[in-house]
């Protein structure tokens, strides 16, 4: 959906090309859709569409940390397909309360998905994911051929 929303928000200049009327129309539609979809996701209580990540690397491992507060481990999926790591999940929350003979109900939901391409091949059998206080830490062991080896220089 990002391709529909112009980043600079500038109105196209009049008379630049014969496409100017179409550019102005597209600018208006892009702005309308961007505002509508942004407002909708906020009203629906959706989880932020991007998950903040921190990726670090040692000679033997790639470590990915994802901030996913308020979502339990069973609602988070971690998937490794080739050299692409995908973290996804869904948050659903319901709250019901009765006061003075009236029933109040509140629901919020949203989903997220984040994929990154890994810098080195990893061993799919040696991947571990841990959830602690809203931080998911994924440790991926590099495949043997991807690990750096010190080569002695003979003189």
Task: Write the class of the CATH domain 53-146.
Answer: mainly beta
Residue of 73, 55, 87 lying closest to 132 (CA atoms): 73
Residue of 153, 131, 148, 128 lying closest to 139 (CA atoms): 128
Looking at per-residue pLDDT, the higher value among 131 and 106 belongs to 131
| pLDDT for res 70 | 81
| pLDDT for res 148 | 75
| pLDDT for res 121 | 92
- Residue 50: pLDDT band (50, 70, 90) is confident
Domain coordinates in residue numbering, the chain: 2-43, 53-146
DSSP state of 114: E
What is the C-alpha to C-alpha distance for residues 128 and 112, in angstroms, rounded to an integer? 20
Q: How many CB atoms lie within 10 A of CB 146?
A: 16
Q: Tokens 């841990």 — which residue?
A: 130
Look over the chain and give the mean of its residue pLDDT values, rounded to a whole number. Answer: 78
| pLDDT for res 24 | 67
| pLDDT for res 43 | 44
Report the run of H or E that residue 13 belongs to, with start and end.
none
Query: For the segment 90-116, what is each residue's pLDDT rounded down to a tens digit?
Result: 887 788 888 888 888 887 778 889 999
């Amino acid at each position: 959906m990002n391709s529909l929303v112009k980043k600079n928000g500038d109105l196209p200049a009049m008379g630049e090309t014969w496409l100017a009327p179409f550019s102005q129309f597209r600018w208006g539609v892009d702005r309308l859709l961007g505002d509508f979809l942004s407002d909708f996701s906020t009203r629906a209580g959706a989880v932020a569409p991007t998950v903040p990540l921190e990726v670090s690397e040692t000679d033997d491992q790639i470590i990915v940390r994802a901030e996913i507060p308020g979502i339990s481990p069973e609602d988070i999926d971690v998937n490794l397909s080739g050299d692409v790591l995908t973290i996804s999940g869904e948050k659903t929350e319901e709250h019901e309360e009765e006061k003075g003979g009236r029933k109040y109900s509140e629901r919020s939901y949203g989903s997220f998905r984040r994929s990154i391409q890994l810098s080195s091949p990893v061993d799919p059998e040696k991947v571990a994911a841990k959830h602690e206080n809203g931080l998911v830490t994924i440790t991926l062991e590099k495949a043997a051929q991807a690990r750096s080896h010190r080569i002695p220089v003979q003189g």
